[in-house]
Amino acid sequence: MKKPGFPVRFYRSAALGRREYSAAAEWSAGVHSRYAVVAPNPNPEPLTDSMTQPITGVTPAELTEVPCKVIWPTIGAMALGRLVGRLSSIRFGWGEFFTLGKLLAVATLPFSLIVFGWQLTPYGCRRYMLTNRRIIVRKGLMAVDQRWISFDDFDTIDIEVLPGQEWFHAGDLVCRHGGIEVLRLAGVPRPEALRQVCLSMQSALVSVRSVVEHQAAKTTT
């Protein structure tokens, strides 16, 4: 079969070129419309004082009190729970796994469930809350403040691990002022982590307060 001559091949290539050029022009127009540069507003709205959080999620203690963390105590906060911990810590046996303490931990499981259930009742429910101002002990299902101290009311925080609490990796967090105990958080899980959080919040609060007082003194003079 004889191939088409020059005029036919020329017209076909020209039509194909027009289609490719048209598709390229449409794509270019779409790209420019998608990434078009918007001119800045010559009359922007002025900033107002409604922004109370210069850093998102951080609220100064002078403005309002904001909850930061809630800690639920372990069963090591109660005497029966600590008894379970002491029995479970007995290492008499064979190796690290086959010990008398492991068997007693299984045998005393009903007592552990009883203590855990008591901590969820309206009379036994208790948790600890950290805000940007205070450390609070809350009790009951309605979370009523039972005891609390501000970050100015203590200068040291000690950790006391009572017998039986080490099984639960827990301990008592004791806040002291001048060597006198002002607040005790019993049965705190991983108490060292909470201790560092409390000390960091206290240090930040004192630093911010000193800067504000310094600025206020400069403005008055």
Going by pLDDT thresholds of 50, 70 and 90, the confidence category of residue 67 is confident
Compare 25 and 122 and report the one with higher pLDDT. 122
| pLDDT above 70 coverage of the chain, percent | 71
pLDDT, residue 35, reads 45
Going by pLDDT thresholds of 50, 70 and 90, the confidence category of residue 209 is confident
pLDDT, residue 170, reads 95
Alpha-helical (H) ranges within 35-89 are 79-88
Helix 109-118 × helix 100-107 angle, to 10°: 50
Residues with Cβ within 8 Å of 155's Cβ and at least 6 positions away in sequence, in order, are 176, 177, 178
Tokens of 182: 């002002």
pLDDT, residue 11, reads 41
pLDDT, residue 55, reads 43
Residue 5 has pLDDT above 60, yes or no: no
pLDDT, residue 93, reads 77
Q: Provide the CATH topology of domain 67-213.
A: PH-domain like (2.30.29)
Residue 19 has pLDDT above 80, yes or no: no
pLDDT, residue 25, reads 53
pLDDT, residue 130, reads 92
Query: Which whole number is the average pLDDT over 160-180?
Result: 94
pLDDT, residue 202, reads 87
Compare 143 and 34 and report the one with higher pLDDT. 143
66 burial (CB, 10 Å; 0-12 / 13-18 / 19+) is middle
CA distance 87 to 108: 9
